[in-house]
Every structure is written in structure tokens, then in C-alpha cells.
Amino acid sequence: MVRFLEKNEYASTIPLFIECFGDDPEFMEEYYGTVNADGAVQGRIRNGHVAVLEEEGKILSMVHIRYYDAELFFGSGSLHLQVPYLMGICTDPACRHRGYMDQVMAFVLDQMMYEGHPWCFLIPVDKEIYRHLDFIYEWKLTEEEQEMLYADEGLDTALARLLNAEHFPEGEIRIREELS
């Protein structure tokens, strides 16, 4: 079943996160923080949403959604908009190549289209993994953006997908701050 987790279920994603990305103590403290008795986490993850595919109560695949203020610079003007950032995208290594991630991504993309977002973005380890999902627009991130977005060292390119826009914006894109 694919669904969005309730806030008090976010801690249940920690084992899969560690399995796929490691358990860097500094990141885990900032991102997940402490877990309350009711299962709620206190870290930055609480400001976003988490979609999962689970079977028999076990999370097999997930996508974290965070919202950021983006500023588009064009000609002599600029425009601010809220843009979803997809991160923590992973599937249990024992369950890969079964289409689970495509199911979670379709669920998430449908929700973001319903919410009216013009586009969304992610920072891929391998750009080709996301091409078939129409993540085809790319731009370079600044060092500041890489740090703010938790990009691993060497990952300096974002990929975007149109949701409710006819074309990707021309001009410079800068991700400014996380929205809560």
C-alpha cells in the first residue's frame, strides 16, 4: 500500500533511511532529532511529508517531501514560489527493481499536481534513474544550496519535473529557504 505517513509515524522510516544512506550522527540529529514516546520526531523532517510503500507493516520504499522558497531571476525581475524538494528517495535493497519507487513517485507527483505546484525537484546520485519519470530539467546548485538541501559531497546538480506548468522557467533559479 502507498500512503502518506502521519507525523507520529516518521520515526518508522529511520531503519530504511540508515540502510540506504548511513547514519551520520550530525545529520540524524538535525533531520530526525529525538523521538518522543508517541513516536513523533523533533527534527526538521516534521516540516515535510513522507510517502511510503509498505507491505505487512514494513516500509519498503519512501520519498520525503520538503518545501522551499525558490526565486526565479529573469530579465529585470524575479518571482518567488514554493517548490517541493524530494529527498530520502530509496527502496530497501532487497526489494529493488520491482517498481516500488515508481509507485511511490507516481503517488507523490499526483499529490503535488493536485496541490498546484508548477514543478518539483530532487538531487540525484544518478540522473538516469529519474529520466523516465520526466525529471529532465537541470541546473547547478550553489555550495550554500547544496548544504541547505543536504546534498552529499559532489552532488551539485538538481533535476526538476514540470507538474502544472507548460515550460520550465528560463533564467537563474535559486533555492532560498525551507518553508515550514
Q: What is the pLDDT of residue 74?
A: 79
User: What is the average per-residue pLDDT within 34-42?
Assistant: 87
> Is residue 75 over pLDDT 80?
no
Q: For residue range 81-96, list pLDDT tens digits in order.
A: 899 999 999 999 999 9
Written as nine digits, the cell of 43 is 527534527
Q: What is the pLDDT of residue 5?
A: 97
- Cα 70 to Cα 90, 117, 146, distances in angstroms: 25, 12, 14
Of all helices (H) and strands (E), which one includes residue 156? Answer: none
> Is residue 153 over pLDDT 90?
no
Q: Which domains does the chain have, with CATH numbers?
A: 2-179 (3.40.630.30)
Q: Which residues pair with 54 in a beta bridge?
A: 59
* C-alpha R_g of the chain: 16
> Is residue 40 over pLDDT 90?
no
Distance CA 25, CA 21 (A): 12
> Is residue 180 over pLDDT 80?
no
Q: What is the pLDDT of residue 172?
A: 87
> Is residue 38 over pLDDT 90?
no
> Is residue 171 over pLDDT 90?
no
Going by their DSSP bridges, the two strands 137-140 and 119-122 should be labelled as unpaired
Q: What is the pLDDT of residue 39?
A: 81
What rounded mean pLDDT belongs to the chain? 93
Q: What is the pLDDT of residue 145?
A: 94
Residue of 16, 9, 47 whose CA lies nearest to 30: 47
User: What is the average per-residue pLDDT within 86-111?
Assistant: 97
Q: What own/partner pairs with CB < 8 Å and gap ≥ 24 does 138-147 have?
A: 139/173, 141/175, 142/174, 145/174, 145/175
> Is residue 100 over pLDDT 80?
yes
